[in-house]
Structure 1
Amino acid sequence: MHDADQILAACDELARLSETDTGIMRRYLTPVHHDANARVAQWMHEAGMAVHQDAAGNQWGRYEGLEADAPALVIGSHLDTVPDAGRYDGILGVMLAIGVVQRLQRSGRRLPCAIEVVAFGDEEGTRFGTTLLGSRAVAGTWEPEWWALTDPTGICLEQAFEAAGLVPGRIDTARRESSQIVGYLEAHIEQGPVLEDRDLALGVVTAIAGARRARITLTGCAGHAGTTPFDLRRDALCGASEAVLAIEALARASGAVATVGEMNVTPGAVNVIPGDVSFSLDVRAQEDAVRDRTVAAIVESLERICTARELTMHWEDTHSASAVACADWLQDCVSRAVTQVQGDEALHLFSGAGHDAMAMASLTDVGMLFIRCGGGVSHHPDESVRADDVAMALDAFEIAVIRAARQAGLPA
C-alpha cells in the first residue's frame, strides 16, 4: 500500500466485493460489507496496526505513537457505496490512510500521537436512507429512532445489526471521547470538476456543505385514464412534476442546489391516473441559513401547488447535517503538504458533497485533502483517477499527517 499501484490494485480488489454482478453496490451490514472489513483489516494488520471492528461495524487499525495509549490522529474514509458506484469514492481515502501508516512502519517511524485508520461502514445511507451512520456512532451523535429505519426489503436497522453479529445495546461503545482524538483527516476524490478544470491533482477543502433531505408524498385520486375529464382529475404526478420544476427554480434563485433523485408513482399503470407520488428531496448550500430558507420556500410552493390541484402533502424530514468548516490548523497542514508535493500554491475549495468529516466535526477538528477525478464524475461506474495523482496524494497525505501529529499539542 506504500505506492500508487498497490493502492489502485486494492481499490480494484474491493470493487469485486459487490452485491450486484454489474457495477458496484456495497451496503451497510451486508455480507459484502463484512468481507470488505475483513480484507481491509488484513491490510491494516500487514501495515503494523492493531485491528478491531467497533460496535457500529466500522473497521479500525491503530499504529501506536512514541508512547503507548497516546491520543490519536484519526485518518480514513468509508467503504460503503451508492448503487452502481465507482471504485474510489471513500475507498481511495481508506487505502491512502493505510498507505501512510505502511510508510511509517517501513521506516520504523513513530509520531507524537498514535495514528488510527478508520473504514466507516455507512456514509452514503444507501440501505437505510440516513447517511453517516458509521461516523455518527463514533462521534456520539447516534439517534435511538434510527433503530426503526428499514431497508427496501423491510429489514429494520436493529435486525440488520443482529444479523451482522453486532449488539444494538452496545452501540454507545463505538463512541470516542474528544480527549482520545487530536483531529481527523480525510482524503477523498473531489467528486466535482474544479481541480480538473484548473489542471491540478490536489486541493485543500475549506468547508463541507450543509444538507437536508426529505421524503415527500403527494396524494390525489387514482382514476380511469380514459373516462375522467381534466377538470375532475386530482393527478398526483402532474402536481409532483410541477413541484420538481418549482424546486429547481427556487434553488437556482437562492444560490443553493436541490435535487429530486427518486420518484415512485402509484398505482403505476399506463391507463390509470396517478393517485400517489412519493419523491426524494436533497437541498445543500454553503451556509445553513441559505439552505433552510430554500427549504422553507419549497414547502410554501408545494403547499400552493397542492391547494390548486386539490392534493394533500406529507413531508418527512429524513436527514439534516449542518455545514462544517475545516479547522484552520489542519487546512494549513494539508495546504503546506499540497504545495510541497504539487509545486503550486494550493487551491482551497468548498465541498458540495457530504463526507464523514461532517459527523466527526462534532467530536474533533477536521481537515480534508481532495484528489482530482476524471471529468468530475462520481457515484457512477465511470469514476476514475490518475495513477500519478494518487502517487502525489499519498506523498501529500503522509506529509500532512506527520505535520498534524507534530502540531497536535503533544510532547515530541
Structure 2
Amino acid sequence: MREQASPRLGPGIIARIEELGQISETPDALTRVYLSSEHRRAGDLLAGWMREAGMSARVDAIGNVVGRYEGEESRRPALLLGSHYDTVRDAGKWDGPLGIVTAIACVAELNRRGKRLPFAIEVIAFADEEGVRFASTLLGSRAVAGTFDEGTLRARDSDGVSLREAMQRFGLDPDHIGAAARAPGEFLGYIELHIEQGPVLEAQALPVGVVSAISGATRLNVTLEGMAGHAGTVPMAMRHDALTGAAECIVAIETQCRNDIGLFGTVGYLRADPGASNVIPGRVIFTIDMRCASDEHRRLAVASAVKTIERIAETRGLRPQIDVTHEGRSVPCASWLATQISEAIVRCGFAPMTLPSGAGHDGMAIADITDIGMIFVRCRGGVSHHPDEHVDDADVETGARVLLDVIENFRDEGRKKEKNNG
C-alpha cells in the first residue's frame, strides 16, 4: 500500500504556538514563569498535545512535562527532543515553545503513518530554563541531568516565596526532586530545535543552521570607588569621577570585543551614586557579561578586561572591586549529531551553515548525561526575548522537515565511534 504524502506540519505548529502564547499572567505582555498558574495551564496543554500525538505523558518531580513514543520494541533507549516552556517577562512566543511543539508535531506525523523506529522518542518540555522567578537557570534540565543544586530550594522570588514553598503549593515534593534524574543509558542523544535569537541566518538568507557549541559565559560585577563632590567647585583636573571612569571602561570593553572575533561583551546594568545632577558620582556599579564558544578564549579575554579596568581606575585615582558572579563553561555539540543535522538540511534543499549559540539552552545541562545537537531556525531581525520575536511560516515548516528528517534517519553509529575513540 502506497504511503500517503506527508501533510504540511507548519500550520499546526503555528496554531499551537499562538494558543500557548495566550497563556500569560497579563493579557498585554507574555509572561509565564515557573510554578505559576499559567505554568500549570501550559503544562496541561502540552501534555494533552503529547497524548494526541500518540505519546504517554507525565509531569516529573521538578515540573517538566515528559512525553514518550515507544519504538519497535518497548523500553528501548530514546532519542531525546525538547526545549522549555517558561518565558522571560514581556516575552516573545517562539523562544522555547517552537522546539517543543515542533517535536510533538514530528512524533504525531510518525504516529499518523503508524511508524515505529528502532528506538523510542522522548519529548521533554523543560519547566524552567530562563530562571526568571528564582534567578537560577536550567532548573528543569538540571534535575533531569541529576545536577540540581538542593541549595536552590532556599531561593526566594520577589514576593518572598521560596522555591521549596512554591513547589509544595504546586503539588510537587521538593524532597524528591532526585526522582526526575535520568541515567545516561536511557538516551541516545538530545536534539533541540530553537530560534537562533540572532541575525546571522537571516543575513545569510538561510532558514536553518547547525549549532557548533553553546557559548560559555562569565559575568562580573564591577564597583569603582571615587570621590563625590560639588559639581561646581571641584576642578576638572582634580576630580575622581567614578562615572567617567566607568564610561571609559565600558567603551574599552566594547572595543576589545569588537576587535576579537567570536567574543561578545555586554554591560547591561549601571548605577551611579549618589545619583544627583549637581554631584560628581563617587561610586559606580556596573556588570559585564562576556561570552565565547571557547572557554580558553573567554578566560583570556576576561583577564584582559580586568587588567584594562584596573589600569583605567589607577589612572583616574579610583579604587576598583571586581567580582565574578557567574562562570558557565561552553558546551560543544557532538560532531556526529551535527553531521546528521547537516545531512538532513541538505536533503531538505538548503546549505548547512554552522554557527555557535551565544545564548544558553537546556542542552548545557543535558550534556552531562548525553551528547547534544541543536538546530537553529531563522527569526526575523534576530529579535528575541521581546514581543516582536517572529518566525516566518515557511521557516517553521522547514525547521519541522529538518527535525523529522533527522529523526527518521537517525543512527547512533557515530555516537558509538566517538565513544570508542574517546
TM-score of the aligned structures, taking structure 1 as reference length: 0.89
Deviations 1:281-324 (A, max 9, x none): 21111211111111112222233344455555444433332222
* Superposition deviation, residue 62 in structure 1: 1.1
* Equivalent residues of 1:54, 1:60 under 8 A apart: yes
**What residue number does 1:332 align with?**
339
Q: Tell me which of 289, 299, 303 is aligned to 1:296.
A: 303
Q: CA RMSD in A?
A: 2.7
Q: Is the 8 A contact 1:204 1:369 kept in 2?
A: yes
Q: Tell me which of 34, 56, 59 is aligned to 2:62.
A: 56
Structure 2: distance between partners of 1:217 and 1:375: 34
Question: Which residue among 225, 247, 250 is the counterpart of 1:244?
Answer: 250
Instruction: Determine if the alignment matches structure 1 residue 68 to structure 2 residue 83.
Output: no
Give TM-score, length-normalised by structure 2: 0.87
Q: Please give the secondary structure, in 1, of the residue aligned with 2:410.
A: helix
Give the corresponding residue for 1:257: 264
**In 1, distance between residues paired with 2:85 and 2:364?**
16
Separation in 2 of the partners of 1:315 and 1:33?
37
After superposition, the Cα gap between the structure-2 partners of 1:229 and 1:191, relative to the gap in structure 1 and judged at 3 Å, is same
Distance 2:149 2:93 in 1: 30
1:221-251 superposed Cα distances (whole Å, 9 cap, x missing partner): 6666567666776544333323322221232
Q: Tell me what 1:284 maps to.
A: 291
CA distance in 2, matches of 1:309, 1:391: 56
Q: How much identity, in percent, do the aligned residues show? A: 47
- Structure 1: gaps spanning 5 or more residues: none
Residue of structure 2 aligned with 1:81, choices 66, 76, 87 = 87
> Which residue is 1:164 aligned to?
170
Given the alignment of the two structures, is residue 94 of structure 1 paired with residue 100 of structure 2, yes or no?
A: yes
The unaligned stretches of length 5 or more in structure 2 are 1-6, 417-422
Question: What displacement does 1:263 show?
Answer: 2.8
Distance in 2 (CA, whole Å) between partners of 1:32 and 1:44 is 18
For each residue in 1:144-189, what CA deviation from the matched residue of structure 2 results, as whole angstroms up to 9, or x when unmatched?
4434444444444444433433333222222211011110001111
Q: Which residue of 1 aligns with 2:350?
A: 344
Q: Alignment partner of 2:381: what SS?
A: helix
Q: Which piece of structure 1 moves more, 61-70 or 159-168?
A: 159-168
- Tell me the matched-pair count: 409
CA distance in 2, matches of 1:144, 1:305: 41
Structure 1 residue 408, shift from structure 2 partner: 8.0
Indicate the residue corresponding to 1:40 in structure 2: 46
- In the aligned structure 1, how far is the partner of 2:240 from the partner of 2:167? 42
Q: In structure 2, how many angstroms separate the alpha carbons of the residues matched to 1:334 and 1:225?
A: 60
Distance (Å, rounded) in 1 between the aligned partners of 2:34 and 2:275: 30
Distance of 1:409 and 1:213 partners within structure 2: 33
- Where do residues 11-410 of structure 1 align in structure 2 (5 Å cutoff)? 11-220=17-226, 235-255=241-261, 256-271=263-278, 273-274=280-281, 276-309=283-316, 311-341=318-348, 343-404=349-410
Conserved? CA contact 1:61–1:118, under 8 Å: yes
